[in-house]
Structure 1
């Protein structure tokens, strides 16, 4: 039987309790408002807020009003395009993860690079332009392919780890590996969101985890660097940060402001 690579990470010091607390924050939001009362308008609004926050974290200068009017820049337009397909892509993220990631890149990077690069994994050793400031250099293409393939295989296998932990690891791996020529941060955050939906943490996508990442922007790049360079200590710290992000995402939900 294949090893469950996610379960040991969920057992790192403090991660289990932090993941339960974050899950409780989401569950309280949904329970208090009534899951059956969550309409498509609330999902659309939460995804729009997430698109704006994710684009801002990538360096977009578009305001929320710009994003609402469809008048944002290439980063925000790409983030919004991803939200339009996110709920349809989420059910496939556990069975065809690479296809989901490449589709997310096609949507995210349509205004950011040559058409022939859309949805294609990088194959060269050239430096990758980053939309995540301050990261360590991306690994060589051969190492990236090996790790990405292993990540995809592990996603299709059963795990006892909380879905939040799995989503956070996928986010970090995509951000650190930078498998695409552009828009890797946008894709990584959307991939995390897909898994939070698919693994039942937020099945109706009314939290805004991207807003949590944005509010904790001062530790975003450094947290990913630590994840990549500090072994299990860095992984644990990233997972703890991700739990805080999910809790903040529940607080920033438009559902929470509804009477």
Structure 2
């Protein structure tokens, strides 16, 4: 889908109110006393919590055994590698989104895919290159409010499934990069991945309706709802940090 097809997204029913509510919830987390100076610690905790939820959404485990020498579940291991790399990938995402996507896949699918296929879109799909190019342009130029851009990036990648492995982890990480780079959640203090996990199968139904165009507004509103839920998770992390 091209950016011109999406220019009126903010005028869809319910979207403006959902965007405002999501922004307000995230701003409150950033004002939490524990996050004023101690945000690196709460951000790290949120990152791990987000990675665990993202792994479960992709069919992996969310369990981390503190007594084990390594993570044995390949999906969770990939999600945690991605989480650890998010900060370094923000400037890459801001100038070369497709390069960042390739790196996300290399990290997420390292234990799932042939090394030669890591970071490479699935061959034999003629439309894929143009769709990804359009997505990259959209990330760099779309004029929408940040929560809308987060929803579109997330939804486009989930529907496009560009790599054929770890696509969900990649899509949610790209959404997280968008949250940080747009300034919506600059320190990564929230965990919308947990919000998506909590709605169960409704998550995939909603993104499918976005992909086929039958309920674009519904997906954006659902993402904003997950952002609000992720802000509540972020507040609980900050509360625990004191």
TM over 0.5: yes
1:129-149: CA deviation from partner (whole Å, max 9, x where unpaired): xxxxxxxxxxxx122222211
What residue is the counterpart of 2:58 in the other structure?
58
Match of 1:217 among 185, 188, 200: 200
Q: How does 1:1-259 map to 2 (within 5 A)?
A: 6-33=6-33, 35-65=35-65, 70-124=70-124, 141-157=125-141, 159=143, 161-229=144-212, 231=213, 233-253=214-234, 254-259=237-242
Cα gap change, 1:69 to 1:104, in 2 (>3 Å): same
Cα gap change, 1:195 to 1:25, in 2 (>3 Å): same
Partner secondary structure for residue 252 of structure 1: helix
RMSD of equivalent CA atoms: 2.1
CA drift of 1:7 comes to 4.2
CA drift of 1:256 comes to 3.9
CA drift of 1:5 comes to 5.6
Instruction: For 2:68 and 2:15, locate their aligned partners in 1 and report how far apart those are by CA, in whole Å.
Output: 36
Instruction: For 2:7 and 2:68, locate their aligned partners in 1 and report how far apart those are by CA, in whole Å.
Output: 40
Q: In 1, are the aligned partners of 2:52 and 2:61 still within 8 Å (CA)?
A: no
- Give the number of aligned pairs: 239
Instruction: For 2:67 and 2:79, locate their aligned partners in 1 and report how far apart those are by CA, in whole Å.
Output: 10
Cα gap change, 1:181 to 1:18, in 2 (>3 Å): same
Cα gap change, 1:46 to 1:68, in 2 (>3 Å): farther
Instruction: For 1:202 and 1:67, locate their aligned partners in 2 and report how far apart those are by CA, in whole Å.
Output: 32
Cα gap change, 1:63 to 1:88, in 2 (>3 Å): same
Instruction: For 2:3 and 2:158, locate their aligned partners in 1 and report how far apart those are by CA, in whole Å.
Output: 24
CA drift of 1:94 comes to 2.8
Partner secondary structure for residue 142 of structure 1: coil
Kindly report structure 1 stretches of 4+ aligned residues shifted beyond 3 Å.
2-7, 64-70
Q: In 1, are the aligned partners of 2:3 and 2:134 still within 8 Å (CA)?
A: no
Instruction: For 1:68 and 1:78, locate their aligned partners in 2 and report how far apart those are by CA, in whole Å.
Output: 16
CA drift of 1:3 comes to 6.7
Instruction: For 1:44 and 1:35, locate their aligned partners in 2 and report how far apart those are by CA, in whole Å.
Output: 12
Partner secondary structure for residue 106 of structure 1: helix
Cα gap change, 1:158 to 1:178, in 2 (>3 Å): closer
